Amino acid sequence: MNTEASNTPVADVKFIQVEKRFDTTTALHSLDLEIEHGTLFALLGPSGCGKTTTLRLIAGFEQPTSGQVYIRGKDVTGIPAYKRSFGMVFQNFALFPHLTVAENVAFGLKMRGVAKSDIQTKVAAALDLVELGRFGERYPRQLSGGQQQRVALARAVVFEPDVLLLDEPLSALDKMLREQMQVEIRHLQQRLKMTTVFVTHDQEEALTMSDRVAVMKDGRIQQAGTPRDIYDRPKTEFVATFLGASNILEASVRGNDDAGTVIDLAGNTLTVGRLAATQGSKVRFALRPEKISIGMAGGIKATVREAIYRGAQTFLYLDLNGTPINAVVQNAGVNQATLEPGAAIALHWDCANMVELEPQV
Amino acid sequence: MRSRLSKNSLALAVALPPLVILGLFFVVPLCYLLFVSFMTNSATSLFDLQPTFMNYAEIFSDPFYWLIIRRTLLSTAVVLILCLLLGYPVAFYAARLSPRGRLIMLMVMMVPLMVSNVVRAYGWVAILGRRGVVSSTLTGAGIIERPMQFLYSFEAVTLGLLTILLPFMIVSLTNSLATIDKRYTEAAYSLGAGPWRTFFRVTLPLSSPGIASGLMLVTFLTLSAYVTIALLGGPRYKLLVSLVFDSVTTFRWPRAAALSFILLLIALIIAVVIQLVIRPQRVQGKG
């Protein structure tokens, strides 16, 4: 397996056709997954989508019903959690309350038979890394939530595991602390270059922190890619609406010309990039509200149904010949008077921002 | 601050009536008992109003009392150890059941406790006596020549106490084990600890509140048990509690009071030792 590693980059975590069933329900449907070395990979989805099951399969807390799990090119299917090499930060941190901070961090080193003198230096280094050098003798209950979080991180990385797993690590923290910890975890991960898999239901968190995101639903990965990819080029309606707001617009195909495919959207003729769809068929597009700009003339005619002033932006709920459409505009030079309900305005957008969605199953 | 204060005073208002009752019917009589224990024994009344240390002095200078104290400590210790060793595996199993299964299991274990102590002790008499089940079976099988008395011994008393007290220990341990978040176990696994090391380094310490409360419960119940000790220990195997009763029946009330206080002191000392050794407070409070 070492020779294999030197030829082609071997993914740090790899799932081959992994299926997981619990009694009658299927949590994962033959999942294929590859997580490259050094990336921060987010598993994003609503509860029950299988993201936590995926994480627990990497850990070995669950074993797949069928398929194989590889960590660093080694088949770990069937190997119990305590014989794998991963660090994990749990939702409630799960710091051992009967041990001090230093003893908590030392636990993994002790279990792996590291020499006593090495344990001391490593624990001190790990605590310094999370800026808790002076807190070694305290007990977890004497620390704040953010400090406990950092101890949990130090405990999970101190023995240099192959993979770091984070199970909704920020959900127990308040909003301010959460945003601060997002940045801290990101910095720590980049410094250690540790392959990290991270479970969250918070799309903003996934976009902010990760190199790659896999959006999951009903035990399947809907789409995987960089945050920008997924946000800008969603493949399905679910991805488009789960990550941020999106207009889902249905248009019918008129035919192709030299510039691309001509479509009819609520009575407006638009030309988008060439589509495979045949003439007369219906195609659905995602269009982000912030990609739409407004003017008085030209463009596509719409009526204002409601305008909500939000300080920096105005949220516009519009009507496009009976089709509802939302836009978000920056309040740089907008004349509020024109945005009264019932006012007619013109919409502009670059048709390249209209992303064709896969037909719904 | 204000709301905290008023919340505290509300809690005090609710707690006050039971506290008053506790004071009236427990603390006051206890003080009276202590007072009586320093009075002179009297043949005609409860006591003679002549302060004396004689009750305690006589107890501590008499080798027979020392024997009984040692015996009391020994049987308590053996009951405690056996309850813990036998109860822990059962509790460990019960804690892994579904809440419903756990409830059923604990209920079933409680059923024997619904039978009166007297009935239960006589049950043991029927089993362990000279003409009891064990003796006649062994005689019939030719293992022993003559019928044997298994009653009135350390073993009989210990067995009798154990069967009553084991459920208390199991319930206490189960409740404690069942509330341990399974993420602690998973955290230990993630750090490379196998099942055994996880048990000894994580699960066992985390169950210390249950161990401590179970041990204390068993201690107090052992020291205050009377029917079991009287029927299974009989005249030959007495514990401190038997001597309290003996003193009462011979109308030496101050002596009985002094013995009660020694018993209370022993209970307190054992409780303190349990707290110091098990240190349950280290896992209490937020994780």
| pLDDT > 90 fraction of chain A, expressed in percent and rounded | 66
- Partner A contacted by B200 (CB < 8 A): no
Q: How far is A205 from chain B (nearest CA, A)?
A: 23
Query: What residue in B sits closest to A101 (Cα-Cα)?
Result: B287
- What fold is seen in the domain B34-282? MetI-like fold (1.10.3720)
What's the CA gap between A39 and A12, in Å, rounded?
Answer: 9
Report ipTM (2 d.p.).
Answer: 0.86
Q: What is the 3-state secondary structure (H, E, C) of A151-206?
A: HHHHHHHCCCCCEEEEECCCCCCCHHHHHHHHHHHHHHHHHHCCEEEEEECCHHHH
DSSP tag of B40 = B
Out of A83, A91, A141, whose CB is closest to B286? A141
Do residue A94 and residue B184 have CB atoms under 8 angstroms apart? yes
| pLDDT > 70 fraction of chain A, expressed in percent and rounded | 95
What's the CA gap between A150 and B249, in Å, rounded?
Answer: 67
In B, which residues are within 8 Å of A62 by CB distance? none
Out of B184, B189, B285, whose CB is closest to A81? B189
- pLDDT bucket at A268, cuts 50 / 70 / 90: confident
What's the CA gap between A162 and A194, in Å, rounded?
Answer: 7
Instruction: Return the amino acid letter for B67.
Output: L
- Partner A contacted by B202 (CB < 8 A): yes
What's the CA gap between A10 and A153, in Å, rounded?
Answer: 26
Do residue A90 and residue B192 have CB atoms under 8 angstroms apart? no
Which of A57, A71, A96 is the best residue to mutate to test the B interface, defined by the most B CB atoms within 10 Å of its own CB? Answer: A96
What's the CA gap between A79 and B192, in Å, rounded?
Answer: 12
What's the CA gap between A351 and A346, in Å, rounded?
Answer: 15
DSSP for B55-113 reads HHHHHHH-HHHHHHHHHHHHHHHHHHHHHHHHHHHHHHHHHHS-HHHHHHHHHHHHGGG
DSSP tag of A335 = -
- What pLDDT sits at residue A9? 64
Which of B183, B186, B191 is the best residue to mutate to test the A interface, defined by the most A CB atoms within 10 Å of its own CB? Answer: B191
List the structure tokens of A174.
């308040």
- In the predicted model, is pLDDT for residue A90 greater than 60? yes
Stretch A237-252: mean pLDDT, rounded?
91
Neighbours of A40 (CB within 10 A): 22
Classified as helix, coil or strand, A269 is strand
**Helix, strand, coil percentages in chain B from 3-state DSSP, rounded to 5:** 80, 0, 20
What's the CA gap between B91 and B172, in Å, rounded?
Answer: 8
Which residues neighbour B77 within 8 Å (Cβ) at sequence distance 6 or greater?
none
Residues of A with CB under 8 A from a CB of B: 59-61, 80-83, 86-88, 90-98, 107-108, 111-112, 139-141, 155-156, 159, 165
Query: What residue in B sits closest to A154 (Cα-Cα)?
Result: B191
Residue in this structure with the two tokens 């799309």, named with its chain if needed: A203
Q: Which of B78, B228, B223 is nearest to B151 (CA)?
A: B228
DSSP tag of B32 = H
Classified as helix, coil or strand, A92 is coil
Residue range B14-46, pLDDT digits in tens: 999 999 999 899 999 999 999 999 999 888 888
Do residue A98 and residue B192 have CB atoms under 8 angstroms apart? no
- pLDDT bucket at A333, cuts 50 / 70 / 90: low
- Partner A contacted by B287 (CB < 8 A): yes
Instruction: Return the amino acid letter for A138.
Output: R
Which of A23, A57, A63, A107 is the best residue to mutate to test the B interface, defined by the most B CB atoms within 10 Å of its own CB? Answer: A107
Do residue A97 and residue B287 have CB atoms under 8 angstroms apart? yes
What's the CA gap between A131 and B279, in Å, rounded?
Answer: 30
- What pLDDT sits at residue A322? 86
- What pLDDT sits at residue A180? 87
Average pLDDT for chain A: 90
Classified as helix, coil or strand, A11 is coil
Core vs surface per residue A122-158: b (16+ CB within 10 A) or e: bbeebbebbebeebbeebbeebebbbbbbbbbbbbbb
CB-count exposure of residue A176 (10 Å: 0-12, 13-18, 19+) = exposed
Residue in this structure with the two tokens 């809690």, named with its chain if needed: B11
Q: Which residues pair with A40 in a beta bridge?
A: A196
In B, which residues are within 8 Å of A59 by CB distance? 186, 189-190
- Partner A contacted by B281 (CB < 8 A): no
Which residues neighbour A100 within 8 Å (Cβ) at sequence distance 6 or greater?
A136, A137, A138, A139
What's the CA gap between A158 and A127, in Å, rounded?
Answer: 9
Do residue A156 and residue B206 have CB atoms under 8 angstroms apart? no
Q: Which of A241, A298, A305 is nearest to A268 (CA)?
A: A298
In B, which residues are within 8 Å of A108 by CB distance? 190-192
All residue ranges of chain B with pLDDT < 50 are 1, 286-287
Do residue B191 and residue A159 have CB atoms under 8 angstroms apart? yes
Do residue B183 and residue A90 have CB atoms under 8 angstroms apart? yes
Q: How far is B88 from chain A (nearest CA, A)?
A: 20
- In the predicted model, is pLDDT for residue A4 greater than 70? no
**A87: phi then psi, degrees, rounded to nearest 5:** -110, 150
In A, which residues are within 8 Å of B200 by CB distance? none
Residue range A208-225, pLDDT digits in tens: 899 999 999 999 999 999
List the structure tokens of A177.
């602390």
- In the predicted model, is pLDDT for residue A204 greater than 70? yes
What's the CA gap between B261 and B239, in Å, rounded?
Answer: 14
What's the CA gap between A180 and A178, in Å, rounded?
Answer: 5
List the structure tokens of A300.
């596509």
Residue range A40-86, pLDDT digits in tens: 999 999 998 999 999 999 999 999 999 999 999 999 999 999 999 99
Residue in this structure with the two tokens 């957008």, named with its chain if needed: A349
CB A57 within 8 A of CB A20: yes
Do residue B198 and residue A97 have CB atoms under 8 angstroms apart? no
CB B61 within 8 A of CB B54: no
Do residue A90 and residue B187 have CB atoms under 8 angstroms apart? yes
List the structure tokens of B237.
């195997």
- Partner A contacted by B198 (CB < 8 A): yes
Output the CA torsion B180→B185→B186→B187 (10° steps).
100
**Domain range list for chain B:** 34-282
Q: How far is A57 from chain B (nearest CA, A)?
A: 12
Neighbours of B218 (CB within 10 A): 26
